[in-house]
Amino acid sequence: MEAWMHCWSCEHDTPQKRLILERYYRTPEIFNKKKGGEVKNRLYAEVLSTHAFFKCIKCSAPNYFIHEFWTPKENSDNEARKFFHDIEATGIYTQEHLYGVYHYPNFKKQKAPEWTKDLPEKIMLLMWEVYSSFNAALPALCAMGIRAVIDIYAVSKVGDIGGFKKKLNTLKRNGHLSDGQHSALEAITEVGNASAHRGFKPTKLQVETGLAALEAIFFFELQENKFKELKSSIPPRI
């Protein structure tokens, strides 16, 4: 079959011929814990994946795609059949339960902005590791790294005063975060928490959103003095 897929060589979607399609099942255990460390809730889920090799009809470059689909085990049969049927028929599956599409090779890397070199050393080094995990297609690890960056940033501003919620509320109250930034960091922190403690694997888009929020906050802080200089240089109205 043929499908329009992204080609790394053409750098855009192209018509491609599928050469190989394989299925793979795995059953991870998802759980959370009580404060004492014992398991509170335990859930087994099915992760269904397809592994497909395509060949670009335009340039003949090979492309490898993985589609991953998560569903609670007790409800998986019908949805699994639809997932595999759609992949086999069209090469893609875009329903809401799909939580990962990975494309190899992927030469389009998310580079750390040049200005990250001006961040405090601890934040700078961890941010670079976050970009590395993103480019290695390790979204859960990347989400946990973003969560750690937020924690280090919060402690640097308000001290180690408690959990994430208290730190973020204090950052907002002290004027370090706007309402929108506060809401964004709350959501991003929850993604990191779920990845670290509940076996959640975020999508590429969710991780990109987290990186964008951090970049916006850090860039504005680094440029704040320049903004002040710019404002002072503007001649007053006559």
Q: Which among 57-66, 72-81, 86-95 has the top mean pLDDT? A: 57-66
Distance CA(154)–CA(152), nearest Å, equals 5
Query: Is residue 109 pLDDT above 80, yes or no?
Result: no
> Under CATH, which architecture does the 114-233 domain have?
Up-down Bundle (1.20)
Q: Hey, which residues does 15 pair with through a beta bridge?
A: 4
Q: What pTM was computed for the model?
A: 0.59
114-165: per-residue pLDDT in tens?
888 989 999 999 999 999 888 877 888 899 999 999 999 999 999 988 888 8
Distance CA(69)–CA(169), nearest Å, equals 35
Q: Are 113 and 215 in contact (CB under 8 A)?
A: yes
Give φ, ψ of 88 to 5 degrees: -65, -40
Domain assignments of the chain as residue spans, ordered by start = 2-104, 114-233
Note the pLDDT of residue 76: 61
166-205: per-residue pLDDT in tens?
999 999 999 888 888 888 888 888 888 888 887 787 887 8
Note the pLDDT of residue 221: 84
Give φ, ψ of 175 to 5 degrees: 85, 10
Distance CA(213)–CA(209), nearest Å, equals 6
